[in-house]
Amino acid sequence: MAYELPALPYAYTALEPSITQATLEFHHDKHHAAYVNNYNTAVAGTEYDSMALEAVIKAVAGDASKAGLFNNAAQAWNHSFYWLCMKSGGGGAPTGALADKITADFGSFEEFVTAFKTAGATQFGSGWAWLVLDNGTLKVTKTGNAENPMTSGQVPLLTMDVWEHAYYLDYQNRRPDYMTDFLGKLVDWDFVAANLAAA
């Protein structure tokens, strides 16, 4: 039961100029596709072959002998989730229950933005910045490489990819500018709100 590379939920040009067609073609069609292919190869003929991707991630997390499987499984999931966190004409501030929850748990939307950007900027090397629900409270966290907060019992609501392949063609070494555009112009707050409601 192979895991299939999901199509992007928008056109390759939909996020321009913040994220260009060239970046999406490399990031989705090459990097994400490689994680999916490597995952399918790793699970073929094993007990994990019939398990949902999330279940495999949780089952092998922390097992050094399964690090390769975990890395490709988690990166396949992380990227599929990341694409859904963005949309054309996104960004700005959320509204409704999500906005109220952010204000309640961070003090203000601006304080959330500061925390989220700090997580992205201080993730040394490759990784991810996340907005998660942790025992009923919104928190910002960061993970290195392929790590995912679901392995710690947290519910991912939003993620920002800070691996260089996510932004280098468009921003080179200017990760802070990419993060500013991600929050200001790209985030699909409707998707984040739906994740919160489902949690």
DSSP assignment of 134-162 equals ETTEEEEEEEETT--GGGGT-EEEEEEE-
Q: Which residues are annotated as a binding site?
A: 27, 79, 161, 165
Task: Report whether 92 contacts 180 (CB < 8 A).
Answer: no
Which strands form 137-144's sheet, in the order they lie side by side? 137-144, 127-134, 155-161
Task: Look up residue 85 and give its two tokens.
Answer: 């966190």
Task: Report whether 17 contacts 65 (CB < 8 A).
Answer: no
Q: Which residues are annotated as a binding site for Mn(2+)?
A: 27, 79, 161, 165
Return the bridge partners of 144, or none: 127
